[in-house]
Amino acid sequence: MQIYWVSPTAQRAAVIAAVELPVYDYCKKRLLSVFGDNVANHFLSSLAASLGSAVASTPIDVVRTRLMNQRKLKHNLRSEAYIYRGTADCFYHTFKYEGFWALYKGFVPTWFRMGPWNIIFFITYEQLKHFY
């Protein structure tokens, strides 16, 4: 049994961490002159960080979902339907046959899911940092 979705899940986690934290820090520093170091700055910076992470992670989510669903497809069809060989193959065929925007299916729900998480996380983090 091959588990195709472990690699995209790990890649997604790495990409989210690699995008969210620098985007948050950059936005926070740029907005210091406008808002100061307060909740409004942290709110807008975390919203921008969630947008950045959604842009970066949605293609990986699409690929991961397709890889996870192909196991069920392979089991049910019992025919020689095309099955992706891995992450790169899935990216390639999705882009080739469906176009660039197919990699961003589900972008808005992803951003709406990441937005509240980032806002709560970063505002809580900053408040605890100021408290201690």
For 100, the token pair is 């660039």
Give the Å distances, CA to CA, from 35 to 14, 38, 89, 130: 30, 7, 46, 16
pLDDT at 1: 44
Give burial (CB, 10 Å; 0-12/13-18/19+) of 128.
exposed
- Which range among 38-47, 56-65, 72-81, 101-110 shows the weakest confidence by mean pLDDT? 72-81
| CA separation for the pair 96, 36 (Å, rounded) | 46
| Mean pLDDT, rounded, for 83-110 | 93
Residues 6+ apart with CB under 8 A from 126: 37, 39, 42
> 95 vs 86, which has greater pLDDT?
95
Contacts of 31-34 with CB under 8 Å at 24 or more apart are none
